[in-house]
Amino acid sequence: MKRITLIAAALLFCSALSYGWGFFGHKVIHQLAIYNLPKQLQGFYFKHHNYLISKSVRPDERRNDDPAEAPRHYIDIDVYGDEAINTMPEAWEAAAARYTADTLLKYGIVPWHVVVVQERLTNAFKEQNADSILYYSADLGHYIADAHVPLHTTVNYDGQLTAQKGMHSLWESKLPELFAQTYKLQGKKATYLPDTEKQIWQVVRHTYSLIPQTLSYELEVSKEFTPEAKFDQVERNGKMRQYYSDAFAEAYQQKLGSMVEDQMRAAAQQVASFWYTAWVDGGKPDMDKLMFQALTKADKKQLKQEKKAFRRGQLFEKCLVVAAKGQTKE
Ligand SMILES: [Zn+2]
């Protein structure tokens, strides 16, 4: 437990600034996605796993410089009404015709942006451009992962409308950072997605369906806590700020059951399936030829070891989670 606390302390600063799964969650999801890939792609993605894992957070970092970036990470679907999750046109043109493009941009465009980046990745495979394949794979994975976070699908994105402010980073950063090593993250092999637009909307609808529990469980657990026990007061830049305490996070995690782990596992599976689908639609180029350097014997041995640990749910135990290694160094 001491180690977990240290990790959490090291990452507290990042968590407060992150948007979507926290940096830790994004990195873990991209790493897991590689294990879910079929053989034809896995060597290439594994060879470049450090790039894919470290760049999994680039879209969040880009938000600081690019004003067009922010809406690509979420969709406040409930601003369009209670039924909008089922009635929103899936195609951008039809949705823009109904609500205007400006309105859609204002309340977030994650599912539509996934479709755009998917097309860019497919083109990169067609052009057999390894740099672009890596670049768009990293970006695409990020947006798909964000679409799995319930608070990325509601206008009440931080619990700010229901006096639950701070829930965003509690759910997507603090819980995975504290408990990912207890999660079952073994996923199924990537599958071909005949309609990626439909697929990402299905993801968003499921994610949105988790909002009632996400919010109401926090209220239920709060009944067991005094405000002093529920929050830690932390001084940052001369200002006192409050964050959910570890004890509260633990009780909330227990109440949520497998929700966060299910969403992490599902995100990794979807990321792998979208990557795989782009490769198929891009004409199935021979990825071994596109590798900057062929897999060495040692690489192959390492991949085999990691896949075995992944299947057995021992990645954390065997210290093979790249994001967790980064934490202990900090
Ligand atoms: Zn994001």
Question: Which carries the bigger pLDDT value, residue 15 or residue 260?
Answer: 260
Question: Which carries the bigger pLDDT value, residue 12 or residue 120?
Answer: 120
- For the cut 90, the answer to whether the pLDDT of residue 28 exceeds it is yes
What separation in Å is there between the alpha carbon of 99 and the centre of ligand 1? 24
Q: Give the whole-number percent of the chain exceeding pLDDT 70.
A: 92
Instruction: Please list, in sequence order, all residues whose beta carbon lies within 8 angstroms of the beta carbon of residue 69, skipping any fewer than 6 positions away.
Output: 59, 62, 63
What separation in Å is there between the alpha carbon of 323 and the centre of ligand 1? 17
Residue 33 DSSP symbol:
H
What separation in Å is there between the alpha carbon of 23 and the centre of ligand 1? 9
pLDDT of residue 21: 78
Q: What is the C-alpha separation between 31 and 320, in angstroms, rounded?
A: 10
Q: What is the pLDDT of residues 286-314, one digit of tens each?
A: 999 998 889 999 999 999 999 999 999 99
Q: What is the C-alpha separation between 153 and 204, in angstroms, rounded?
A: 7
- For the cut 80, the answer to whether the pLDDT of residue 45 exceeds it is yes
What separation in Å is there between the alpha carbon of 55 and the centre of ligand 1? 12
What separation in Å is there between the alpha carbon of 297 and the centre of ligand 1? 36
For 32, 80, 113, 253, 297, the CA distances from 305, given in Å and listed in that order, are: 14, 48, 35, 30, 12
Q: How many CA atoms lie within 13 A of 77 on its CB side?
A: 28
If you classify domain 2-329 with CATH, what class do you get? mainly alpha
Task: Provide the mean pLDDT of the chain.
Answer: 92
pLDDT of residue 320: 95
- For the cut 70, the answer to whether the pLDDT of residue 211 exceeds it is yes
The mean per-residue pLDDT over the stretch 19-25 comes to 79
pLDDT of residue 279: 98
What separation in Å is there between the alpha carbon of 11 and the centre of ligand 1? 17
What separation in Å is there between the alpha carbon of 24 and the centre of ligand 1? 12
Question: Which carries the bigger pLDDT value, residue 187 or residue 94?
Answer: 94
What separation in Å is there between the alpha carbon of 317 and the centre of ligand 1? 28
pLDDT of residue 8: 47
Most distant CA atoms of the chain, gap in Å: 60
What separation in Å is there between the alpha carbon of 255 and the centre of ligand 1? 25
What separation in Å is there between the alpha carbon of 285 and the centre of ligand 1? 29
Q: What is the pLDDT of residues 249-281, one digit of tens each?
A: 999 999 999 999 999 999 999 999 999 999 999
**Domain spans, the chain:** 2-329
What separation in Å is there between the alpha carbon of 143 and the centre of ligand 1? 6
Give one DSSP letter per residue of 69-132, joined into a string: TGGGG---GGGG-TTHHHHS-SSHHHHHHHH-HHHHHHH--HHHHHHHHHHHHHHHHHTT-HHH
- For the cut 50, the answer to whether the pLDDT of residue 105 exceeds it is yes
The residue among 40, 205, 192, 63 whose CA lies nearest residue 139 is 63
Q: What is the C-alpha separation between 192 and 311, in angstroms, rounded?
A: 21
Q: What is the pLDDT of residues 146-192, one digit of tens each?
A: 999 999 999 999 999 999 999 999 999 999 999 999 999 998 999 99
What separation in Å is there between the alpha carbon of 225 and the centre of ligand 1? 31
What separation in Å is there between the alpha carbon of 75 and the centre of ligand 1? 11
What separation in Å is there between the alpha carbon of 206 and the centre of ligand 1? 18
* Cα end-to-end distance, the chain, whole Å: 18
Tokens standing for residue 256: 């949520």
What separation in Å is there between the alpha carbon of 22 and the centre of ligand 1? 8
Give one DSSP letter per residue of 251-309, joined into a string: HHHHHHTTHHHHHHHHHHHHHHHHHHHHHHHTT---HHHH-SSPPPHHHHHHHHHHHHH
By the 10 Å C-beta count (0-12 exposed, 13-18 middle, 19+ buried), 265 is classed as buried
pLDDT of residue 99: 98
- For the cut 50, the answer to whether the pLDDT of residue 14 exceeds it is no
Q: What is the C-alpha separation between 204 and 19, in angstroms, rounded?
A: 17
pLDDT of residue 97: 98
What separation in Å is there between the alpha carbon of 295 and the centre of ligand 1? 31
What separation in Å is there between the alpha carbon of 182 and the centre of ligand 1? 24
What separation in Å is there between the alpha carbon of 294 and the centre of ligand 1? 32
The residue among 16, 10, 12, 14 whose CA lies nearest residue 158 is 16
Instruction: Please list, in sequence order, all residues whose beta carbon lies within 8 angstroms of the beta carbon of residue 99, skipping any fewer than 6 positions away.
Output: 80
Angle subtended at Cα 121 by Cα 120 and Cα 127, rounded to the nearest 5 degrees: 90
What separation in Å is there between the alpha carbon of 58 and the centre of ligand 1? 9
For 19, 29, 68, 112, 179, the CA distances from 71, given in Å and listed in that order, are: 11, 21, 7, 11, 29
Answer yes or no: are the C-beta atoms of 79 and 107 closer than 8 Å.
Answer: yes
What separation in Å is there between the alpha carbon of 61 and the centre of ligand 1? 9
Answer yes or no: are the C-beta atoms of 285 and 125 closer than 8 Å.
Answer: yes
- For the cut 70, the answer to whether the pLDDT of residue 224 exceeds it is yes
